[in-house]
Structure formats: C-alpha cells, structure tokens
C-alpha cells in the first residue's frame, strides 16, 4: 500500500526549521540544505515546496502573523469574550505585548521579522507583503482607537490613524531594542514602557494586568 504523505505536516516541519535557523543564526546562514537537515527531510522535498530562500521567508513571515493572531485569540478566550467585550485599553495593551520579545517564542519571531524587513528593502515582492501586513495592522489599530473614543477611554480629539501609526511604530522600535539589547532592557522595563505609551493615549489605566 503506498505511503500517505501529510504535505501540510511536511510544510510545517520545514517552516519550523526555517524559523529556528533564522532566529539562531540569521537569514544569511539559512540555505535549502540547512533547512532540510534541520527539518529532517530531503533537500528535494524542501525544493518541492519552495523554489528559493525568499519563498521560505515569505511563508515564515505569514506563519509569524498567524501565531500572533492565535495568541491574541487565546487571550480573548481567557477573558470570556471577543474584542468588543473587553476594555479597549486592555486589548491594545495585549496586542503591543504580543509584539514584544518577552519569551523565547516571541523573541524568535522578532528575529525573523527583522530579517524579513531587512531583506524586504531590496526585494519588492517581500516589501509588498510587509506593506499589506502593516496596513492591515494599522487599520485594526485605528478601529480600536475609534472604539476607545466611542467608549470614552480615549480623548475624542485624537486622530485614530495618527495614533495607530504612532503605537505600531513605537512597538516595532521597542521590540527591536528589547531584542538586540536584551542584556540591558529587562522584561519589566519593556512592560512599563508599553504602559507609559498607553497612558499617553488613554484617559485612565487598567490595573492588575500582566505581561
């Protein structure tokens, strides 16, 4: 009887190996052969799924985005509701903290994200993917700010689009600093910085929150 191959599982093995290698050694050290070895599969199988490094990196980028969404959904489940059922400040805080390298998984994701951004500078296809993802996040954050204004959590005079841009730019910059200068920036300092930034936008704070 022919052996049944779970192609989705194989792809996941390859992507997980790519994420590990990129996080540990940087993108320049990643090759099809090294990813195949790390995934425990043949070079031919990796080439069956991905024509080149850019295609591997592209899927890794989408995987990071999916994991972010999964963690946010899991957090919402612990609150017993959806995005509309929690204070907007709590939701925005969780979004920003999920972008921070506060544990090994998120630190690895920030490393891959930075590698993707660096390669996107000279690769229009990847730059377009980054643009699409960032515009989606900006739209989501703008909507959150508007809901915060409607709920009386955020001053009505603030520009939702402008505040969304500042919040996400702050998050990207802080995530990079927290990763590259991890020995000098403790986790609690990162969390405090997020709360200070939220205090700039929101009228009141929510106590009892954890990273």
Q: Tokens 């290698």 appear where?
A: 21
Q: Using the structure block, give the residue that is written with the tokens 């939701």.
A: 91
pLDDT above 80 for 7? no
pLDDT tens for 38-82 read 888 888 888 887 888 778 788 888 888 888 999 999 999 888 777
Q: Domain containing 17: what range?
A: 1-51
pLDDT by residue (tens digit) across 80-103? 777 788 999 999 999 999 999 999
Q: What number is the average pLDDT over the span 162-179? A: 96
- Domain shared by 77 and 8, yes or no: no
- What gap in Å lies between CA 84 and CA 79, rounded to an integer? 11
Between CA 65 and CA 56 the distance in angstroms is: 14
Instruction: Quote the pTM value.
Output: 0.84
Q: How many domains in the chain?
A: 2
14's CB contacts (< 8 A; 6+ apart) are 35, 36, 39, 41, 45, 46, 49, 50, 56
Tell me, yes or no, whether 164 and 152 share the same domain.
yes
Of 68, 168, 59, 64, which is closest to residue 111 (Cα–Cα)?
A: 64
Claim to verify: residue 96 and residue 188 sit in the same structural domain: yes
């Amino acid at each position: 009887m022919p052996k049944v191959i779970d192609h989705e599982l194989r792809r996941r093995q390859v992507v997980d190996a790519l994420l590990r290698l990129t996080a540990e050694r940087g993108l320049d050290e990643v090759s099809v052969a090294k990813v195949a070895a790390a995934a425990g599969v043949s070079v031919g199988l990796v080439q069956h799924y991905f024509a080149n490094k850019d295609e591997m990196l592209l899927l890794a980028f989408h995987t990071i985005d999916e994991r972010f969404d999964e963690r946010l959904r899991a957090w919402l489940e612990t609150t017993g509701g959806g995005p509309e059922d929690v204070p907007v400040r709590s939701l925005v805080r969780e979004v920003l903290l999920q972008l921070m390298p506060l544990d090994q998984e998120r630190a690895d994701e920030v490393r891959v994200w930075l590698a993707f951004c660096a390669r996107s500078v000279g690769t229009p296809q990847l730059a377009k993917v980054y643009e699409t993802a960032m515009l989606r996040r900006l739209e989501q954050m703008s909507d959150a700010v508007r809901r915060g204004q409607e709920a009386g959590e955020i001053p009505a005079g603030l520009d939702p689009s402008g505040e969304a841009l500042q919040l996400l730019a702050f998050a990207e910059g802080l995530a990079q600093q927290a990763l590259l200068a991890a020995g000098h920036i403790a986790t609690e300092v990162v969390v405090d910085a997020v709360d200070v930034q939220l205090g700039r936008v929101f009228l009141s704070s929510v106590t009892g929150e954890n990273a």
